[in-house]
Chain A
Amino acid sequence: MTQKDKALLTIGGNRREVLTGLALGAVAVGTGAAGILGGGVLTGSKGRAYAADKAYKMAFIQFQPHTVSTAWAKGIKEVLDIQPGITFQLLDGQAKADVQISLMDTVINDGVNVIFVQPVDSVGIAPSIKKAARAGIPVITLNIDSTAEHAAHVEMNHYYGAIEIAKAMGKMLGGKGNVAILNAPPGIIIRDQRTNGFVDGMKKNYPDIQIVADQVADWDRKKAQDVLTTILTANPDLNGVYGVNDSMALGAMDVAKSKGLKLVIFGNDGEKDALEAIEAGDLAGTQYTDVFQQGRFAAAAATVLATGGVPATAFTAQGHLLMPYVIATKDTVGSIQAYQRW
């Protein structure tokens, strides 16, 4: 191929690329112009013609997909679907604080009226909650509190429930023995509440019971199995295990069954699987909360705030709502109805 032919090839190639680029550019400019001229310039107006039917938007930014947050979303939707004009969006935080922050920014900019959030990090989400408060948007946290003040925190009664769990476990152990705690990842206030409640409850009611281990098992059943196996190597005379959520308690149950050990295992949350394990006698008990109801209560509060036009700035203090609970053991688990199980 001669130099001239090679040059022509490249020029021809460039011309083709330039033409493609021009065509794409024309489409871009055309669509962009249509978009900008079609409705509202860079001011954030939504160009709604009617004031008659007010529309409200709400979003729930969950920690990550899990039985608890799915059940909350179901409860929230049950209430919000009945209300005229309220739309609801479920968003996934992917267990990452920076993802949740980005999602918060997005929904704040989208003009939502209320934000539900289950923080991945109680401290990390605080700047975003303050940003929402400045925009007047009430924020409702579910189960996991934040260090920034917000409209309402709706929780499963972590501290007092954990005290009750300690009392129930202490009674089953006969007041003596060694227990281990399978704990949540650090950085969330729920961890402090559930751990301190258990520790305080044991110290006050059964001071002879020793807490010999407190390890992180990341809310996960599989991880809990590995962690408990390690703990058992160091403490072969373990008598009881407190899993700070049901998944971890069920992991402990798996280990106990496979090794043929008699352990008094308590969980926390009240999942369907845990209740079945209690009925089968494999799990000693758990703190059961009707999570659907928790979602409904949160949605009810949100609806009243949104339709009543109450901005975040109207709150003078941090709101709280504690959910009623049942310490479900073999005796009490029968009282929990099928439609309440999640």
Chain B
Amino acid sequence: MKIWTRLPNRELVLFFLVTVAIFSFFSGSFRTTGNLENILVGFSHMGILAVGQAFPILLGGIDLSVGSILAVAGMIGFDAFLIYSLPGQIVVPLMLVAATLAGAVNGLLIVHARLQPFIATLATMAAYRGVTYAISGRQIFPDLATKSIDDDFLLSFDNYIGHFPYAFFLLILVAVVAQLVLSFTKFGRDLYTVGGNLEAARLSGIKVGRAIIISYAISGFCAGLSALVLVSRMTTSQENLGIGIELSAIAAAIIGGVSLQGGIGNVIGPVIGAFLMGVILIGLNLVGITTYAQPVLTGTILLGAVYYDRVLVLRRARPAEAGL
């Protein structure tokens, strides 16, 4: 009972169920196993990104560069497979390492160059996108752009067990590991402390700089995983892959209850938030709402989530202000 009252996600879970119920009611195609599969396939990578995004936000920061890190990882994979013909067993770890390092650079900029997280990741968002275009095998060898990657190891990431794609199991694995780290390791507890009050954390001896760098590296790693999922599904990569996806990942994390003020949240919420957005986008298509109205509705839901987050922040402050 104690865990139930402490979980900040129960309203989200109920909202999710209500939304699923509404769409199931209005569209016959929505309540099919095929649709369940589509939502899982289409938004598992978003869930992975949202889990990664939770770490910087828990610190009170933000990571705007995940879309560009995703693109860099994807393009490295494209070049490695099609220009250098490396096997998947080498390329996949290469993509993940590159993405993690890219995330670590974000952390270094924040800790050592003392840049605001928003500014630092905004800069790397632009820089990494530029790197993607610069290294793009598709621009250097245009005929490669219409060639598909057919490496077995890579393509094995696009398999299914019944109606569940491997990407979904990857998401579950990432979420479970992340939640275990947050709940049961010193590093996880340190993150909450740093997010709650940075000065107090520093004064109590927590290595704040190291926590920041590791968190942004985790965010980068999750972007690399997402790139893996997308590239294996498309058998190619694009220079504009992932443009704008950072906003969806941030939205999913916030809808999932990770507070922008820092120090509050878990990774279950972002996963539900990501699938909630998937349910809404696919549901709106199936119900027949015009494509152009959909971003408006997604934006409204995000506004609602941020507003609710603000309400909770004020509510948490009230007992403290009441003076003891």
Contacts and interface: CB of A to CB of B under 8 A. Distances in A.
B25 A38 contact: yes
A36 B5 CA distance: 30
Interface string B277-308: 00001100110100110000000000000000
Given A1-B324, A124-B238, A21 B25 contact: no
Interface string A30-48: 0110111011111111110
A21 B142 CA distance: 55
A121 B234 contact: yes
Contact of B28 (A46, A90, A101): A46
Interface residues of B toward A: which range?
35 or more
A1 B322 contact: yes
Given A109-B34, A124-B234, A92 B11 contact: no
B11 A42 contact: no
A124 B29 contact: no
| Interface residue SS majority, chain B | helix
A40 B172 CA distance: 30
Contacts of B34: 44, 108-109
B287 to A, nearest CB: 10
A147 B238 contact: no
B142 A121 contact: no
A97 interface: yes
B33 interface: yes
Interface residues of A toward B: which range?
35 or more
Interface in B29-51: 29, 31-35, 37-38, 41-42
B286 A44 contact: no
B189 interface: no
B285 A106 contact: yes
B139 interface: yes
Contacts of A45: 28
A187 B241 contact: no
Contact of A102 (B14, B28, B33, B42): B42
B230 A123 contact: no
Contacts of B282: 102, 106
A147 B148 contact: yes
Contacts of B20: 32
Contacts, number: 155
A35 B234 contact: no
B18 interface: yes
Contacts of B291: 90-92
Contact of A27 (B18, B37, B146, B148): B18
A122 B146 contact: yes
B146 A42 contact: no
B173 interface: no
A259 to B, nearest CB: 27
B252 to A, nearest CB: 15
Interface in A78-113: 89-92, 95-98, 101-103, 105-111
Given A28-B21, A109-B32, A97 B238 contact: yes
A124 B5 CA distance: 45
A185 B285 CA distance: 28
A6 interface: yes
B17 A28 contact: yes
Given A21-B11, A96-B243, A106-B286, A123 B148 contact: yes
Nearest to B43: A102
B286 to A, nearest CB: 6
15 contacts: A20-B11, A24-B14, A24-B18, A25-B17, A28-B14, A31-B21, A36-B24, A98-B241, A101-B234, A102-B281, A106-B286, A109-B35, A124-B236, A127-B234, A186-B136
